[in-house]
Structure 1
Amino acid sequence: MPAKPKWAQLADHIRGQIASGELVPGAKLPSTAQLCQEHGVSTIVVRQAIFALRTEGLVEGVQGVGVFVAEQLPNAPDR
């Protein structure tokens, strides 16, 4: 079985941080440059991972500000 693409591995990592509470709703994700450096990947890999997480409704991008954990996470119980 082929290894998972790097963008999928990064998305899994961030997804895990959200699930564990390390990244809480409203928290800002590290910048693209920081994620590239921390994980040894290219900008394209980071963008693909963020795109996948946005598609799942886990993160939201704010133009010129950054990417944040969604306030209302999918499958989260209503409060």
Structure 2
Amino acid sequence: MPAKPKWAQLADHLRGQIASGELAPGDKLPSTAQLCQEHGVSTIVVRQAIFALRTEGLVEGVQGVGVFVAERPES
């Protein structure tokens, strides 16, 4: 089985931090540059990972401000 693409690995990592509460609703994610440096990936990889999380409704972007963990809907 082929290895997961780097963007999927990064998305899994961030998803895990959100699920564990390490990144709580309303928290700002590290910048693209910080994520690139921390994980040794390119800007495109970070953008794809954030796009996947945004599609899942886990994060939301605010133009010119950053990407934040989405508020969880009440169960």
TM-score of the pair, normalised by structure 2: 0.97
1:28-51 deviations in whole A, cap 9, x for unaligned?
Answer: 000000000000000000000000
Pairing of 1:1-79 with structure 2 (within 5 A): 1-72=1-72, 78=74
Q: CA deviation at 1:78?
A: 1.7
Identity %: 92
Over aligned residue pairs, what C-alpha RMSD do you find? 1.1
Instruction: List alignment gaps of at least 5 residues for structure 2.
Output: none
Give SS of 1:64's match.
coil
CA distance in 2, matches of 1:31, 1:6: 17
Structure 1 ranges of 4+ moved more than 6 A: none
1:13-40 deviations in whole A, cap 9, x for unaligned?
Answer: 0000000000000000000000000000
Instruction: List alignment gaps of at least 5 residues for structure 1.
Output: none
Total equivalences in the alignment: 75
TM-score of the pair, normalised by structure 1: 0.92
Give SS of 1:26's match.
coil
